[in-house]
Structures are given as structure tokens and as C-alpha cells.
Amino acid sequence: MFLRLDSSNDGFLTKDELREGMGQVLGIMRAGSQDWDDLVHQLDTNHDNKIDYGEFITAAVNRSRLLSEENLRIAFDMFDKDGNGSISKDELRAVFHGAVCQTALEDDDEAIWDEIMS
């Protein structure tokens, strides 16, 4: 995820890279409503106005941030494309389509998708 967000390939994430990358994941409207300055401030522990990989990983494993109700809702909504309150196998496929792990999750391998759903 870090490498995908780092569009400049300089080993750091800027506010603009976070906004652009998360816009692709969350949609422009939802990403536009985030306070990106505040997010960078929270993640940027050495206060250099950019997020290095260590800061990114620290934030990823920080349960209080990662598992907040709002973040869980955002993650769930990323999968629940039709907004019906549940995640279908087709919605999972849509999210993972084109991901790095695509070769392991071929669309025609129903056994893998059934196992993920279970």
C-alpha cells in the first residue's frame, strides 16, 4: 500500500499523495472531506511534513487509530459497493480485481472465493 501511494517513488508520502491515493480508494468526495493536514500531523512523528515507511507502519499497527469506528466503517464501505450493509463475493472480487494478489485470486477459482467468504 505504501508503494502504491508513493507516486513520486521517493520513499515518502506527502499530503497530496495521501489525498490522491485515498481518493482512488475511497472516492473523490469522501477523500475530499478528510482533514489531510491533521492526518499528516498525526502520522508524521518526526514532524518533517511527510510520512516515511516507518511512520506508515507504526500507524498501521496502532490499533487505536486502525480500529476506530470511523475507519472500520470506511473499510467496510469500500467493500460494500451497493451499500446494502453486507459484502458479497462479487463485491470482494471487485475490490481485489487488479490488486497485486490477482494471480492468486483468479475470478474463475470459486473455491478460493468461497473460502474467503467463509
Give me the CATH number covering residue 53.
1.10.238.10
Are 114 and 64 in a shared domain?
Answer: no
In a shared domain, residues 33 and 44 = yes
Domain of 117 in residue numbering reads as 82-118
Does 14 lie in the same domain as 60? yes
Same-domain pairing of 104 and 75: no
Model pLDDT, residue 96: 73
Q: Collect the ranges in the chain with pLDDT lower than 50.
A: 29, 31, 100-102
Looking at residue 29, what is its pLDDT?
46
What pLDDT is attached to residue 66? 59
CA gap 85, 108 in Å, rounded = 26
Q: What is the pLDDT of residue 18?
A: 85
Chain mean pLDDT for the chain: 78
The cell numbers describing 11, all together, are 520513499
Q: Which amino acid would we find at residue 79?
A: F
Report the pLDDT value the prediction gives residue 51, as an integer from 0 to 100.
Answer: 93
**What gap in Å lies between CA 19 and CA 31, rounded to an integer?**
6
pLDDT at residue number 84? 95
Residues 33 and 69 in one domain: yes
pLDDT digits (tens, 9 = 90+) for 65-81: 656 777 778 888 888 88
- What pLDDT is recorded for position 28? 53
DSSP codes joined into one string, 44-104: -TT-SSSEEHHHHHHHHH-HHHHT-HHHHHHHHHHH-TT-SSS--HHHHHHHHTTSGGGGG
Rounded to whole angstroms, the Cα distance separating 84 from 101 reads 26
